[in-house]
Amino acid sequence: MMRIELRSPVQQHLRGYVLENVKTRPLIVASPGIYEGQSLALCGAGPSLATHLPEGTDHVWACNSALPYLVERGERVSAGVGIDQTPGLMAEWPDPPAVPYYMASSCDPVLIRHLRRHKRQVIFFHSAVGLEDEFDLYCRTWPPTWMVGKGHTVVSRALSLAKWMGFARVDVHGADCAFAAGNVTHANGTTADEAYHAPFWMEGEIDGRTWRTRPDMLMAAVELARYTQESEGTVRLVGDTLPAALLGKSEEFLDSVCKRLAPGESPAAA
C-alpha cells in the first residue's frame, strides 16, 4: 500500500478566503430541512453523465462543468454547486447560468465576486479544509449553517449538504471517479491531460476490470460506496461508475482500495 498526501495549493490563503466571503451581500447561508421529503439528482461531470442524464426527481444540482453541460443540452437544472479553492471554475462558468449557486465559504473570493457580478444568487455552506480552530472560526464569523467534513470531491461533499437540507432521496449521476476509454474524464469530452495537466494516475483491478483514476477520485469512490451502502436506499448511484463497482464490497476490501490514514499512521499498519 502506498502513502499519498493531498494538499490544497492555496492552503495558506483559505482563512483569508473565509473571512472575505463573509462580506458578501446579501449574505445567504444554507438552511436545514428545507427540501424535506423531496428528491434530488446530484450531478457530477464524469463521462457517464452523457448517457445517464437526470430524470424523475424534484430538483437537479449540477457540480462544476456538469452545470454548463446540462444547461447547453436543455436539461433542467435547479442549482450549481462548487467548492473550488482556486479560480478554476471561472473557466467552467465564464457566463454562469441563471440558477442559484451553493458555494463553499472557502472558495476563491474571485469566483464569488464573478457570480455576484452576473447577479447570481450565492448560498454558502462550509466545507472543512483543515484550518486551525476551523469550527470555531465559522461559529465566530458566520451565521449558523452546515459544515461538510467528509468527501474528497465536490459530489461527495455536496451529498452531505443535500441530506442535511432534507432530501429524502438523492440519485448520484456522473460520479465516475475514474477515467473512461481514451482517458476521458468529463462528459464534455475533456481528457485527463487537459483537465489535470500531467495528473498522477493510479490503476487497479476490481472483479477482473481495470480502472484508472486519481488519488482524490479513488478516495471519493470508496466514500460514495460506503455512504450509499449505509443510506438504506436513500442514495442511489447511477451509471457504470467506480463507486457502483465497489458497492457490496466488505470493509476490508474497501480499506485495501483506499484508506484515510490518521496522523502518524503508516500504510503498513493500515
Q: Per residue in 57-92, pLDDT tens?
A: 999 999 999 999 999 999 999 999 999 998 889 999
Give the mean model confidence (pLDDT) for residues 247-269.
80
**Rounded distance between C-alpha atoms, residue 29 and residue 178, angstroms:** 32
State the average pLDDT for the chain: 92
The 3-state DSSP composition of the chain as helix, strand, coil percent (nearest 5) reads: 35, 20, 50
Split at pLDDT 50, 70, 90, the class of 194 is confident
pLDDT at 270 over 50: no
**Which residue type occupies 64?**
N
89-112 pLDDT tens trace: 999 999 999 999 999 999 999 999
Q: Which long-range contacts (CB under 8 A, 24 or more apart) does 69-73 make?
A: 69/45, 69/186, 69/187, 69/188, 70/43, 71/97
Give the mean model confidence (pLDDT) for residues 244-248.
97
pLDDT at 269 over 60: no
pLDDT at 178 over 90: yes
* C-alpha grid cell, residue 28: 445567504
Categorise residue 244: left if φ over 0, alpha if ψ from -120 to 50, beta otherwise.
Answer: alpha
Split at pLDDT 50, 70, 90, the class of 266 is low
Q: What is the pLDDT of residue 64?
A: 96
Split at pLDDT 50, 70, 90, the class of 11 is confident
201-234 pLDDT tens trace: 889 999 999 999 998 899 999 999 999 999 999 9
Q: Which residue, chain included where needed, has cell 457540480?
A: 63
In this structure, of 109-118, 149-158, 182-191, 192-201, the range with the lowest mean pLDDT score is: 192-201
Choose the CATH number for 11-261+265-269 among 3.90.1480, 1.10.132, 3.40.1350, 1.10.3470: 3.90.1480
pLDDT at 121 over 60: yes
**Rounded distance between C-alpha atoms, residue 232 and residue 35, angstroms:** 19
270 burial type by CB count under 10 A (0-12 exposed, 13-18 middle, 19+ buried) = middle
Q: What is the pLDDT of residue 8?
A: 64
Domain map (residue ranges) of the chain: 11-261+265-269
pLDDT at 1 over 70: no
Sign of CA dihedral 182, 152, 196, 53: positive
